[in-house]
Amino acid sequence: MEADPPLPEHGRPAQGRFERIEFETYGDGRPVRSNTAVAEEWRALGLVLSFESYTADAPSPHVLDARGYLPENASMHALGPAPSGDLGLEVGVIHLDFPGRPRRVAFTLFGPDLIDSFLVIVWSGGERLPEATAAHSPDTRYGTDGNPDAGQATYSPGGRARFRAERVVVGAAGGIDRISLDGWGPPGYILLLDHLEIDP
37-68 confidence digits (pLDDT tens): 999 999 999 999 999 987 778 899 999 999 99
By CB atoms closer than 10 A (0-12, 13-18, 19+), residue 125 is: middle
The full set of domain ranges for the chain reads 19-199
- Cα torsion 16, 74, 37, 159 to 10°: value is 150
pLDDT of residue 12: 78
| 19-199: CATH topology | Jelly Rolls (2.60.120)
Q: Residues 144, 164: contact at Cβ < 8 Å?
A: no
Confidence class of residue 158 from pLDDT cuts 50, 70 and 90? confident
pLDDT in tens, 70-92: 998 899 999 999 988 776 888 99
Euclidean distance between CA atoms 171 and 138, whole angstroms: 18
* Contact indicator for 21, 42 with CB cutoff of 8 Å: yes
